[in-house]
Structure formats: structure tokens, C-alpha cells
Amino acid sequence: MTRTRLTTFLAGAAVMALSALPVATAANGAVISSATHAGPATARAAKATVDVRGTTLGKILVNSGGRTLYLFKKDSARKSACTGECAKFWPPLLASGKPTAGPGASASKLGTIRRPDGKRQVTYNGHPLYTFQQDTKAGQTNGQGLTAFGASWFTLSRSGNQISGHAARVRG
């Protein structure tokens, strides 16, 4: 194979591989794909804590590291519908013991469910909780209003209800 043909072949293979990746669309029209995906497959915590933090969306639920927690509209009856590739982008908040409520969160709304892989996922007001891979810093809400893996993703208020507003996008 000549150098030109090899280059063309490799470029074509790369395009085909990237076109098979899942894509999400943000409320502001931004496209998010797994080409930007990096990081651990789950949000692990020996003793998971759910806190409340003020953001541009108001006071929302966050994990012990300040990372935003989301609900998935495809989940039902206290059961997670986000597994496999979905859980790589939206890592479930896992706990090996009983989750704890930080300041502003309600301990009575906390619980866990068993995921298909047998791990325990933290719930709040009956909603399984997830972080988002593209929230790289505490307080970011990049997943708010996205539609990916068959349904929409939203932050939760301290009462455990969906926050439907859109995050303010800060450009730096």
C-alpha cells in the first residue's frame, strides 16, 4: 500500500470509529460525544455524602467533592436505566454503606438501590443519583438539560425535585 493510500485508509477508519460514538445535545446546542470522555466509570465513595451547594441554578444536590448530582428521566420505580456506556458518561453515585446527608440535605430522603452489577447506588427522594464526566470541577452543571441515552438529565433541588432551568454557560 502506498503512503497516500495508507493515510486515506487510516483517516477513513478513524471517521468510522468516531461516528459510532454516542452523542448528547446540550440545551444550548453544544454537541457532546465520547471523544471527550475521560475518567473513572463510577463515582465511588466508601461512605457517600449528599450535600447542597449554591450554583447558577440555585441550591442543588452535590456529592462530598462538590460535584453536581443528576437524575435521569428514563429511570423508573427506583430503578436505574443507565448502565454500560451510559454509566461511563454518567457515573452513578455508589456507596458501600449507608449514605449520609450533609448540611441542607435530608437524611430521610436518602436511600440506595441495587444496580444490575450488584453495587449499591445512592438515591435521593427516590431518584438514583449520577455525576457527569464533563463536570470537571465542583459546582459545574454542564449536564443540566442534556438529552443522552434516551432521556434528559437534570439537577435536583434540596427537596429532591428536578430543576428544569438551564445552566448559565460561562465562557472563559
What is the structure's pLDDT at 153?
98
DSSP string, 59-104: EEEEETTS-B-EEETT-BTTB----THHHHHS-BBB-SS--EE-TT
Average pLDDT, the chain: 79
pLDDT of residue 10 exceeding 60, the answer is no
pLDDT of residue 71 exceeding 50, the answer is yes
pTM of the model: 0.73
What is the structure's pLDDT at 86?
98
What is the structure's pLDDT at 166?
67
Question: How do residues 135-156 score in pLDDT, each as one tens digit?
Answer: 999 999 999 999 999 999 999 9
Domain ranges of the chain: 39-155
